[in-house]
A and B are shown apart, each in its own frame.
Chain A
Amino acid sequence: MTYLYYPGCSLRSTGRAYEESLLTVFRALEIPLKELDDWNCCGATSYVSIDETDAFALAARNLALAEAQSSDGSVQLIAPCSACYLVLSKTERYLEDYPDVNAKINAALDRAGLRYHGKVDVRHPLDVLVNDFGLEKIAKRIKHPLTGLEVACYYGCQTVRPFATYDHPQYPETMDKIVKVLGAEPIDWPLKTRCCGGSLTGTIQEAGLRLNRALLKEAKGRDADLVATCCPLCQHNLECYQPRINRMYDEDIDIPVAYFTQLMGIALGCDERELGMHRLMKKPSLKHIMHPKGASANAW
């Protein structure tokens, strides 16, 4: 089965490394991906603050396109960005649960000659990799285990809440499982789904920074070598504001923040550049792994 791929706006700018690493990893695992043609912005969290019907309609267009562009009975649409994943699955769910919403939205789609029949399954890469592809199969393809690397898996909020069904909304473990398979050590911490503030860092920065500070401090306090994320905004917040946080609250936080797909890529032996490692503010200290001297498992 081919997965349809919905990049979303962020993966084309601040989150480019996420897209690059995701595509590379899927290629390495030979999971066919087809980009949804002419997709539009999902509306994120702001749009619904202005007009809910439009917000749903906007997202629904993507669902309708997905349906039209897929031959299979059930359409698997992968949305890597948390916001996109949430908005798309929320729209999907509400269209199903609330007839009035459904009527309104399909009326709107109709004006554009589109229609949505409820066949789309909105999926997160974490879900697909673990529940469809399978950890065993990933394990088989590991070339350079990230042995000894201590990783704080950070899920953020919207990949697991409230519509995700593939994991627990407060104590998810999917990413931890992957990290384990990569040979690294996921640290257990209570903040893995605590919000990073999202766009607050751009609006009420004080509040946003405090949240990120709490997260980074805790990760550091539990001796994580790096924070792994699955959301472009989380990654941006956690990574880019470290200097400012240190300045404002005189901390000395200096911890790399990478996408889990980048870690996978490294372990699978993909090319560093194709994984967008160069786009990170601070590269994880993995050089010896990334440039294997011979592909021996414990190249440390």
Chain B
Amino acid sequence: MSLPTPPAVQSDDGASIESMKQVVRRIKFESELDLEFGERVAAKAYGQKLLSCIQCGTCSATCPLSHYMDYTPRKIIAMTREGFREEVLNSLTIWLCSSCYACQVQCPRQIHITDVMYALKREAISLGFYPRRLPIPVLAREFFKRVLKDGRNTESWLLISLYLRTNPFRMLKEAMLGLRLFVRGRLTVGRERVRRRDQLRAILTPERPKNGGLVK
């Protein structure tokens, strides 16, 4: 797994001003691209609509988080379409997407942007492509395990295991809040479980496919 190449495009929030000081190569060779990437993602994200993007930027402007993203959603679509696979899968953008669907309902081409982001997240996870110690994929994983096990998710346990795996110090930070929730009976300690867990085990795919299928 090659390490991410430096972004070919400057990010919006000027976060990498530092990098301006040294000379960065700003050229992309077709040979570096994965030209089918776009179509493969489109296929995973319901319909070829992604390909009909006209780069109007509504998604970026609608997105409540775009100003924290290294690439605006519009750029992610453009780069996906054009095959900038590594930049896309390494981007923070896909992780910052909180699935609020604001972009999707306003997209003039009705692109399932949120589904695109999910498809990219899956791909990144299955390839271990995401930034180290980034808690989001870990949260996803923990959540996933828990549900696989109990069929339900007990938030307290979820958060605890999340912090343990990402940033134990956060635990202390959150302890106070945890306590306040606890006294109000909003943090349950008992585990909620589904009776017919056998059904769940039957339904869910036995072993995780290693590869989301977007990469050849």
CB < 8 Å neighbour of A108 from B44, B154, B180, B203: B203
Given A13-B155, A16-B186, the answer on whether A49 and B104 have CB atoms closer than 8 Å is no
Contact A12 B204 (CB under 8 A): no
A156 to chain B, nearest CB (A): 8
Given A49-B121, A200-B96, A281-B180, the answer on whether A40 and B200 have CB atoms closer than 8 Å is yes
Contacts of A194 in B (CB 8 A): 64, 100, 102
Interface hit among B30-38, B82-90, B133-141: B133-141
> Cβ of B61 < 8 Å from any Cβ of A?
no
Interface hit among A53-61, A121-129, A135-143, A251-259: A53-61
Count of residues in B whose CB is under 8 Å from the partner chain? 59
Given A50-B140, A108-B203, the answer on whether A12 and B102 have CB atoms closer than 8 Å is no
CB < 8 Å neighbour of A9 from B100, B154, B180: B154
B148 to chain A, nearest CB (A): 9
- Bound Cα distance from A61 to B195, whole angstroms: 13
CB < 8 Å neighbour of A278 from B184, B196, B202: B184
Which secondary structure dominates where chain B touches chain A? helix
CB < 8 Å neighbour of A114 from B64, B140, B155, B199: B199
> Cβ of B151 < 8 Å from any Cβ of A?
yes
- Bound Cα distance from A58 to B177, whole angstroms: 31
Contact B203 A198 (CB under 8 A): no
Given A52-B118, A158-B101, the answer on whether A46 and B140 have CB atoms closer than 8 Å is yes
Contact A14 B147 (CB under 8 A): no
> Cβ of B143 < 8 Å from any Cβ of A?
yes
Contact A170 B101 (CB under 8 A): no
Count of residues in A whose CB is under 8 Å from the partner chain? 61
Contact A49 B140 (CB under 8 A): yes
- Bound Cα distance from A203 to B140, whole angstroms: 11
A227 to chain B, nearest CB (A): 17
> Cβ of B48 < 8 Å from any Cβ of A?
no
> Cβ of B175 < 8 Å from any Cβ of A?
no
Given A111-B203, A170-B106, A202-B162, the answer on whether A40 and B147 have CB atoms closer than 8 Å is yes
Q: Would you give the 0/1 interface string for A94-119, flagging 1 where the beta carbon is closer than 8 Å to chain B?
A: 10001000000000110111100000
Contacts of A58 in B (CB 8 A): 147, 200, 203-204
> Cβ of A1 < 8 Å from any Cβ of B?
no
> Cβ of A76 < 8 Å from any Cβ of B?
no
Contacts of A281 in B (CB 8 A): 180, 184
Contact A13 B147 (CB under 8 A): no
Contact A44 B143 (CB under 8 A): yes
> Cβ of A197 < 8 Å from any Cβ of B?
yes
Contact B135 A204 (CB under 8 A): yes
A116 to chain B, nearest CB (A): 11
A258 to chain B, nearest CB (A): 13
> Cβ of A193 < 8 Å from any Cβ of B?
yes
Q: List 12 A-B contacts (CB under 8 A).
A: A12-B152, A47-B144, A49-B121, A52-B122, A54-B203, A108-B202, A112-B203, A162-B114, A195-B102, A200-B96, A202-B135, A204-B135
Chain A residues near B (Cβ < 8 Å): 9-10, 12-17, 38-41, 43-54, 57-58, 61, 86, 94, 98, 108-109, 111-114, 156-158, 161-162, 169-170, 193-195, 197-200, 202-204, 206-207, 211, 240, 278-281
The 7 closest A-B pairs by CB, nearest first: A157-B100, A195-B100, A112-B199, A161-B101, A112-B202, A40-B151, A46-B140
